[in-house]
Chains A and B, each alone.
Chain A
């Protein structure tokens, strides 16, 4: 299969996939796999889990492309965000039931030499606070802040109204802002 240069729209590629066209599938995977991997990674916190989630979702898409119904009005990407989010959060919930497997990646995703120990410590701590957010708040934050979806699209992915999404987003940010303040106060106390 090849087709990374395919210029067709997502909807046209999905029509090709529905007709069993492998090049359309290859083009769609090439176009979107990293985007959805990033989402899955941010929700599961594990590289391997994120890869599995994305791979399984695409394979399922190949087998049953009619699961996406363009007549319902949602874009392919909006619908697939929903698919990936559901799978990633489901996997996360399963992992949480088996704590020995739920440690997450302790690997450092950006341990560049330029990052000071202090900044690294702070970042890792903040990442742990993001992961500790309630599931819906975390998803709202990831979709709106990291994936840069509009509130409308994020609300559609989550299957909620815009007001509810905004409420989740504000609570997530407020919690993290308080967490950062607490971190700074603790640090100041430790140094004083």
Chain B
């Protein structure tokens, strides 16, 4: 039973003693010296490992990374909702909107003959202060 377990461990972890479970390493080394069957298993597995190493060797692919990078499209920058903008960006956006409103109000004032509706006046003031006056 124990011998079978050691054989299973050998099959599982391979022939390199460094890969054997630390608590079983000494037992496996002893068994390797004392059991011809275990030694034969070891030799067969060592041969299999050696042959497997020569198989499935991937070919070299020069400039694979460069080709992947070249094939990657640039990100499509999409609209970011206000909550994803930083404080500085939010301030800039508010200032632009306020500026546009103020310019609109001034133009409207002159076109309308110098009379400004009270609500428009309040709106322009609100815009000037980044929307805080509306709250």
Residues of A within 8 A of B (CB): 1, 4, 20, 22, 25-26, 29-30, 33-34, 37-38, 41-42, 47, 50-51, 54-55, 58-59, 62-63, 107, 109-110, 119, 122-123, 126-127, 130, 142, 145-146, 166, 169-170, 173-174, 176-177, 180
Interface centre among B45, B55, B61, B72, by most chain A C-beta atoms within 10 angstroms, is: B55
The answer to whether A126 and B72 have CB atoms under 8 Å apart is no
B8 contacts partner chain A, Cβ-Cβ < 8 Å: yes
Chain A residue contacts of B71, Cβ below 8 A: 55, 59
Task: Give the shortest distance, in Å, between B28 (CB) and chain A (any CB).
Answer: 16
Task: Give the shortest distance, in Å, between A181 (CB) and chain B (any CB).
Answer: 8
Partner of A109, one of B44, B48, B58: B58
Q: Quick one: which of B30-84 are within 8 Å of A by CB?
A: 44-45, 47-49, 51-52, 54-59, 61, 64-65, 67-69, 71-75, 77
A41 to B47, CA, bound (A): 24
The answer to whether A146 and B56 have CB atoms under 8 Å apart is yes
The answer to whether B47 and A180 have CB atoms under 8 Å apart is yes
Count of interface residues, chain B, beta-carbon cutoff 8 Å: 29
A45 to B77, CA, bound (A): 38
Closest B residue by C-beta to A55: B68
Chain A residue contacts of B73, Cβ below 8 A: 59
* Contacts A169-B12, A173-B11, A177-B45; A130 near B65 (Cβ below 8 A): no
Chain A residue contacts of B49, Cβ below 8 A: 145
The answer to whether B58 and A1 have CB atoms under 8 Å apart is no
Chain A residue contacts of B56, Cβ below 8 A: 41-42, 109, 127, 130, 142, 146
Partner of B55, one of A26, A59, A126, A174: A126
Partner of B48, one of A41, A47, A51, A180: A180
Chain B residue contacts of A177, Cβ below 8 A: 44-45, 48
The answer to whether B65 and A29 have CB atoms under 8 Å apart is yes
Closest A residue by C-beta to B64: A33
Chain B residue contacts of A51, Cβ below 8 A: 61, 64, 67
The answer to whether B65 and A30 have CB atoms under 8 Å apart is yes
Chain A residue contacts of B58, Cβ below 8 A: 37-38, 41-42, 50, 109
Q: Across the A-B interface, give the 7 residue pairs with the lowest CB-CB distance, nearest first.
A: A38-B58, A41-B58, A30-B65, A33-B65, A42-B56, A127-B55, A109-B57
Chain B residue contacts of A59, Cβ below 8 A: 68, 71-73
Closest B residue by C-beta to A59: B72
Chain A residue contacts of B12, Cβ below 8 A: 166, 169-170
The answer to whether B68 and A170 have CB atoms under 8 Å apart is no
A119 to B54, CA, bound (A): 10
The answer to whether B69 and A126 have CB atoms under 8 Å apart is no
Chain B residue contacts of A122, Cβ below 8 A: 51
Task: Give the shortest distance, in Å, between A176 (CB) and chain B (any CB).
Answer: 6
The answer to whether B59 and A47 have CB atoms under 8 Å apart is yes
